Amino acid sequence: MAHSLSRPQAALAVAVSAALLLSGCFSGEVSHQGTDDRISVAHMQPPRSGLSPLSDDAFKLSRWSAAETLVSLDAEGNALPALATEWTRQDDLTWLFTIREGVTFHNGQEMTPDSVVNSLQHAIDATPVPRILNGIDLTVEATNTNQVRITTSTMDPLLPNRLSSPQLAIFDAAAYTENGVNPVGTGTGPFKIVAIDGVTGATLDRFDGYWGEPAIASGIDVKFVPDGTARTAALRTGTADVVEAIPAGQAVTVDEELLTEVPMPRTNTLYLNTESGPFADPAVRAAARDAIDRAAIVSSVYEERADIAEGLLGPALPYAADFRDDADYQKLLEGRATPAQVDGIEITLGTFTDRAELPEVAVILEQQLEAAGFVVTQDVREYQYIEADALDGAFDAFILSRATVLDSGDPVAYLASDFSCEGGFSISQLCDQGVDQIITAASETEPGVERQHAIMLAEASILGTDAAIPLLHERVIQGESARVHEAARDPRERLLITADTHLDAE
């Protein structure tokens, strides 16, 4: 299998996937004539690891278009060329990636296959290892041509998608020091980092040596503003052009035209303990499913700024809804148990305070379940103090806000982790051989429409057990001043300011 595009086509694919598929605000031809405008950004969280690309801080480098990966993803999660122009699968374990020529790091050094191997090897050797490589055994080497050979210890049809993770971005060798990885002046993106001010902010300038279309704006000025009220005020007063994560409670203080709600690959789900307690009975689980009014939760707690869940996977994965009318999908749901008559069944309901909405969700769920005949006792703590109990099956029911798409852009890892017999995050304690077989089939299917179909069959098989009752899909509210054009609106939170992002003239 090969994936190949010419250089102009590949550059266009990267730009289009960033600006068209994710921005939602494309309004015509974008001029790449540089301007003197600088875009001010207010981020929710400061760096946790000194902006090391081997940590979650990598997503900031990606959102500023300062760092790039071998592969990018489109809105459907399909792999597209980026710093690699094509890839070929030689056998079940071996892949060849052709490295883009003419790419220069921000410090003027040329990107070579050796550069790519060096970056990937540092990720492989990192402690802790980037989560996209958790449990993955890779070897990387440069060939005598402009290619990099990557070998996996087991068959991994998702390898190109893995290489799109911001934690596997490519940097010049100078970035890797005894004190960690320094992204200042060592990335490849259309913006280069010129200064970092601890946990306060960062400064980026347009990189005129960029291999693709140069950035329109002359730079980005970043501030880290953890306080949601302060971030909202920055948008309202015009001191920030783009603002991350406006709190739902603050949204009413801002002109609605400045707000965009981006669907997130994150689902609030009620996990039911299938191993012990009342919910070991499928009919009792079905009664809980019937008792829940999702619309009431979305309306009262989220002020309509969330999507009612039709399944485990939400609108951040555009293909999900397309498969739910599929005959095979519906057949897997037909095996659901008939709801039992409930009268005085006592259950424990757990959740955590770290996400402010969840205790409110718990209150509403308690009311709905008690109206159906359950007797509910709540246990609400900080997440660090409740996770172990939840994973040990200490609760009959547990409300969790769960990311459904990890760094590969694919939900199979989430489905396996939460709902397979060997899953490491099995709050529902589900072990069903039929479910396991369908999840395994999805994991072994090549990327594309067939894999999407297999993923949705896995969703249906899980829903058919009533081990998990999806409640809603979260959205994040992104603020953009009236002057901003082409800011990316990315459900995966990989992109924000791209080469196309620019401001109107004053």
pLDDT of residue 486 exceeding 80: yes
pLDDT of residue 19 exceeding 80: no
Query: Do residues 285 and 301 share a domain?
Result: yes
pLDDT in tens, 226-258: 888 899 999 999 999 999 988 877 888 999 999
Query: Do residues 274 and 378 share a domain?
Result: yes
pLDDT of residue 62 exceeding 80: yes
Does residue 107 sit within a domain?
yes
pLDDT in tens, 104-161: 999 999 999 999 999 999 999 998 888 788 778 999 999 988 999 999 998 888 899 9
Query: Do residues 272 and 313 share a domain?
Result: yes
CATH assignment at residue 49: 3.40.190.10
pLDDT of residue 65 exceeding 90: yes
Q: Which residues contact 192 (CB under 8 A, 6 or more apart)?
A: 66, 106, 185, 204, 205, 206, 207
pLDDT of residue 1 exceeding 70: no
> What number is the average pLDDT over the span 5-12?
38
Tokens for 255? 């002109």
Does residue 373 sit within a domain?
yes
Tokens for 224? 């880290």
Query: Do residues 459 and 491 share a domain?
Result: no
Where does the pLDDT of residue 50 fall: very low under 50, low under 70, confident under 90, or very high at 90 and above?
Answer: confident
Looking at mean pLDDT, say which of 7-21, 32-46, 203-217 comes out highest. 203-217
The mean pLDDT of the chain is 89
pLDDT value at residue 226? 85
pLDDT value at residue 14? 43
Query: Do residues 74 and 101 share a domain?
Result: yes
Place of tokens 């109990």: 389
Does residue 122 sit within a domain?
yes
Where does the pLDDT of residue 29 fall: very low under 50, low under 70, confident under 90, or very high at 90 and above?
Answer: low
Query: Do residues 224 and 270 share a domain?
Result: no
pLDDT value at residue 372? 97
Lowest mean pLDDT among 23-32, 92-101, 403-412: 23-32
pLDDT of residue 80 exceeding 90: yes
Query: Do residues 395 and 433 share a domain?
Result: yes
Q: For 403-472, give the DSSP string.
A: E-S-TTS-SHHHHHHHHSTT-TT-TT----HHHHHHHHHHHHSPTTHHHHHHHHHHHHHHHTTTSEEEEE
For 454, phi then psi, to 5°, come to -65, -40
Query: Do residues 234 and 283 share a domain?
Result: no
pLDDT of residue 15 exceeding 50: no
CA-based torsion, 313, 315, 318, 321: positive or negative: positive
For 288-318, the three-class secondary structure string (H helix, E strand, C coil) is: HHHHCCHHHHHHHCCCCCEEECCCCCCCCCC
Which domain range does residue 486 map to?
Answer: 2-241+481-503
Does residue 253 sit within a domain?
no
Nearest Cα to Cα of residue 182 among 195, 191, 164, 166: 195
For 458, phi then psi, to 5°, come to -65, -40
Query: Do residues 236 and 360 share a domain?
Result: no
Tokens for 336? 């659901």
Q: Residue 41: beta bridge partners?
A: 222, 242
pLDDT of residue 18 exceeding 60: no
pLDDT value at residue 16? 38
pLDDT value at residue 35? 64
Where does the pLDDT of residue 76 fall: very low under 50, low under 70, confident under 90, or very high at 90 and above?
Answer: confident
Does residue 280 sit within a domain?
yes
Q: How far apart are the first and last CA of the chain?
A: 50
Task: Decide: helix, strand or coil at residue 346.
Answer: strand
CATH assignment at residue 269: 3.10.105.10
Number of domains in the chain: 2
Does residue 258 sit within a domain?
no
Where does the pLDDT of residue 31 fall: very low under 50, low under 70, confident under 90, or very high at 90 and above?
Answer: low
pLDDT of residue 6 exceeding 50: no
d(CA 82, CA 78) in angstroms, rounded, equals: 13
pLDDT in tens, 410-456: 899 889 889 999 888 899 999 999 999 999 999 889 888 999 999 99
pLDDT value at residue 367? 98
> What number is the average pLDDT over the span 285-294?
97
pLDDT value at residue 49? 83
What single-letter DSSP state applies at residue 131? G
Q: How many residues does the chain have?
A: 506
% of the chain at pLDDT higher than 90? 68
Query: Do residues 488 and 462 share a domain?
Result: no
Where does the pLDDT of residue 20 fall: very low under 50, low under 70, confident under 90, or very high at 90 and above?
Answer: very low
pLDDT value at residue 4? 44
Where does the pLDDT of residue 408 fall: very low under 50, low under 70, confident under 90, or very high at 90 and above?
Answer: confident
Query: Do residues 467 and 485 share a domain?
Result: no
Query: Do residues 358 and 223 share a domain?
Result: no
Does residue 485 sit within a domain?
yes
Does residue 157 sit within a domain?
yes
